[in-house]
């Protein structure tokens, strides 16, 4: 209902624009085409965080000096979606949002005295830029308001309102504004004395920037795979640990997200989980593969593995925050663990979390010396170690997560992606 309501409002705005559009239909048609093309693009600002800019705001910025307030009709064209498969409702809603936001921006731009058409080359540029700033604020505000509305009403989304707003006012918006300025200036050049050729040149650096971002993303994927190779290097010694690192990584991320950690920490605890046992490489193969109980000196050498792991990955600078997790993941909450016997809150947060997930995965998979335990048995075991072996808060959260039936998940995706503000999932 909300979707159709906004659509109706957008159609009304578009209807107001119809006479103006008829008057200068070639320019309007051109912008309609731009909006369609813009929908097919993904303009990125940074590699690897999946943050994509909304191209609509940028195209709208160019439309103000050319179309004035009448940008709503062309913006409706953004309903055409060629490449990605988006549900019809989302498409309609997005187009309505684009049209209403562009309309709001255009009206504000004209009202504040922004120059339109041929006037542009006469007045000072600074005045026009001033109007543009207000117009873009109006665009963003309309956009966020509509998005917040749909998120609020959508029963499937649990995203709290503060987070929606925070996301909308993130760096992506800043960049969106920056690109808005660029496209606005391009429109001015277009109308100016040199003509369109010059304004097309700016596409080259923008495109090259996108190439660089894409390369960064490719390199990031290579790096993730190399980390995986590092975790898997251990498996050449101990086939029983196959996939252990990856499962603990996935589980740790899941639990950390559930506990409300910030995304950077979630990611980092995932890396710590992936590599937590890498130091077992230094434990003699005979001990790792041994059936039956370990002798005391053998156990001593096993107990060295967290420190050895730190030694291996110490050189990887960005993992610095993960090191504590690796070093202390065998500490126990009551202080009887190794290597340093820390207790309670002295144990780094990462390490406490890894301990829980690690224990679960170790119990539910087969080892040389025993058969796997069942999901329920493992959970019971975790609960009984609450406060003695594990952090009670984390155990409770883990068990609750597991009882939801969503645990253990198969391989999770790469984490949720933050979408552009006006594209609800």
Partner 1 sequence: MSWRRGNDVLWLVSLAAAGLTLWCVTRTALLGLQAVWLDIVFVLIIGLGEVLRVRTPGGASGSAPMSLAAGAGLALLAGSYHGGRPAPPVCEAVTVVAAGMVLGSLVFALGRREALTARMPLRLVSVAVAGEVFHLVAGLGRHGHLFARPDHWWVVATLGAAALIGVLYLVLAALTGGSARASVRTRLLDELDGSALVCAAAVATASVIAIGSWDLGVWSAIIFSIPMLVTTGALRRYAVIRQTQAQTVRALSRAAEVAGYIEVGHSDRVADLSVRIGEVLGLRSRRLNELRSAALMHDIGQLSLREPIPGGATLLATGPQRLDIARRGAQVLERAAVLPAVARIMAEQAVPYCELADDSPVRTEAGVVAVANAYDDLVGAEPSFQRQAQALERLRLGAGSQYDPAVVEALEQVLVHG
- Judged by the rule CB under 8 A, the positions of this chain that interact with partner 1 are 45-48, 121, 125-126, 129, 175, 178-179, 181-182, 184-185, 188-189, 192-194, 197-199, 201-202, 204-206, 208-209, 211-213, 215-216, 219-220, 222-223, 225-230, 232-234, 236-237, 278-279, 281-282, 284-286, 308, 311-313, 315-318
Closest residue by Cα to residue 104 from 34, 188, 12, 175? 12
DSSP assignment of 37-90 equals HHHH--EESSSSS--EE-HHHHHHHHHHHHHTT--HHHHHGGG---SS---HHH
Tokens of 360: 């679960």
List the structure tokens of 81: 């979606």
d(CA 95, CA 56): 10
Q: How far is the CB of 118 from partner 1 (least distance, A)?
A: 13
> Do residues 377 and 385 touch, judged by C-beta distance below 8 A?
no
Nearer to partner 1 among residue 1 and residue 194 (C-beta) = 194
Shortest Cβ 172–partner 1 spacing (Å): 12
When the beta carbons of 46 and 403 are compared against partner 1, the nearer one is 46
* Residue 409 Cβ vs partner 1, minimum distance, rounded to whole Å: 21
**Minimal distance in Å, beta carbon 339 to partner 1?**
15
Closest to partner 1 by CB, 193 or 404? 193
* Range 351-361 burial, b when 16+ CB lie within 10 A, else e: bbbbbbbbbbb
| Cβ closest to partner 1, residue 94 vs residue 176 | 176
Residue 31: C-alpha distances to residues 12, 112, 199, 200, 380 (Å)? 19, 22, 15, 15, 62
Least gap, CB of 237 to partner 1 (angstroms): 6
Cβ-based nearer residue to partner 1, 127 or 406: 127
Q: How far is the CB of 40 from partner 1 (least distance, A)?
A: 20
Q: Say which DSSP state 406 is in.
A: I
Which tokens sit at 253? 């991320």
Nearest to partner 1 of 57, 151 (CB atom): 57
- Residues 164 and 151: their CA atoms lie apart, in Å, by 8
Nearer Cβ to partner 1 (289/417): 289
Residue 243 buriedness (CB in 10 A; 0-12 / 13-18 / 19+): middle
Question: Are 75 and 87 in contact, with CB atoms under 8 Å apart?
Answer: no
Beta carbon of residue 211, minimum distance to partner 1 (angstroms, whole number): 6
Nearest distance in Å: CB 394, partner 1: 28
- Beta carbon nearer to partner 1, 227 or 420: 227
Q: Could you tell me if 45 and 213 are in contact, meaning their C-beta atoms sit under 8 angstroms apart? A: yes
* Local structure of residue 278 (DSSP, 8 states): G
The answer to whether residues 300 and 247 touch, using CB atoms and an 8 Å cutoff, is no
> What is the closest distance, in whole angstroms, from the C-beta atom of residue 54 to partner 1 in the complex?
15
Cβ distance to partner 1 smaller for residue 100 or 268: 268
């Amino acid at each position: 209902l909300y979707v159709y309501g906004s659509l109706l409002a957008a159609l009304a705005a578009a209807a107001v624009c119809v006479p103006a559009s008829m008057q200068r239909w070639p320019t309007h048609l051109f912008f309609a085409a731009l909006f369609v093309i813009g929908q097919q693009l993904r303009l990125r600002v940074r590699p690897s965080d999946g943050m994509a800019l909304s191209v609509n705001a940028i195209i709208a910025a160019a439309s103000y000096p050319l179309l004035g307030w009448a940008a709503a009709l062309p913006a409706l064209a953004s309903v055409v979606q060629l490449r990605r498969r988006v549900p019809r409702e989302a498409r309609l809603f997005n187009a309505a949002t684009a049209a209403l936001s562009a309309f709001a921006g255009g009206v504000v731009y004209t009202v504040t005295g922004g120059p339109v058409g041929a006037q542009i080359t006469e007045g000072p540029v600074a005045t026009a830029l001033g109007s543009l700033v207000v117009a873009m604020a109006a665009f963003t505000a309309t956009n966020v308001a509509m998005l917040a509305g749909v998120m609020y009403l959508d029963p499937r989304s649990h995203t709290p309102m503060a987070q929606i707003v925070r996301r909308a006012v993130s760096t992506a918006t800043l960049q969106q504004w920056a690109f808005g300025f660029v496209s606005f200036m391009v429109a001015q050049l277009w109308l100016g004395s040199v003509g369109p050729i010059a304004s097309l040149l700016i596409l080259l650096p923008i495109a090259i920037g996108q190439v660089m971002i894409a390369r960064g993303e490719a390199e990031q994927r290579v790096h993730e795979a190399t980390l995986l190779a590092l975790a898997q290097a251990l498996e050449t010694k101990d086939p029983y640990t196959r996939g252990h690192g990856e499962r603990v990584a996935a589980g740790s991320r899941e639990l950390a997200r559930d506990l409300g950690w910030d995304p950077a920490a979630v990611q980092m605890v995932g890396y710590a989980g992936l590599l937590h046992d890498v130091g077992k490489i230094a434990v003699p193969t005979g001990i790792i593969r041994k059936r039956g109980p370990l002798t005391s000196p053998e156990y001593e050498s096993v107990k060295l593995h967290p420190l050895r792991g730190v030694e291996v990955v110490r050189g990887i600078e960005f993992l610095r925050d993960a090191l504590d997790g690796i070093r202390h993941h065998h500490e126990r909450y009551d202080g009887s663990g190794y290597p340093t016997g820390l207790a309670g809150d002295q144990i780094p947060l990462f390490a406490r979390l890894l301990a829980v997930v690690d224990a679960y995965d170790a119990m539910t998979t087969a080892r040389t010396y025993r058969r796997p335990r069942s999901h329920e048995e493992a959970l019971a075991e975790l609960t009984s170690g609450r406060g003695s072996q594990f952090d009670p808060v984390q155990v409770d959260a883990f068990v609750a997560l597991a009882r939801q039936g969503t645990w253990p998940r198969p391989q999770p995706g790469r984490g949720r992606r933050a979408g552009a503000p006006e594209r609800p999932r």
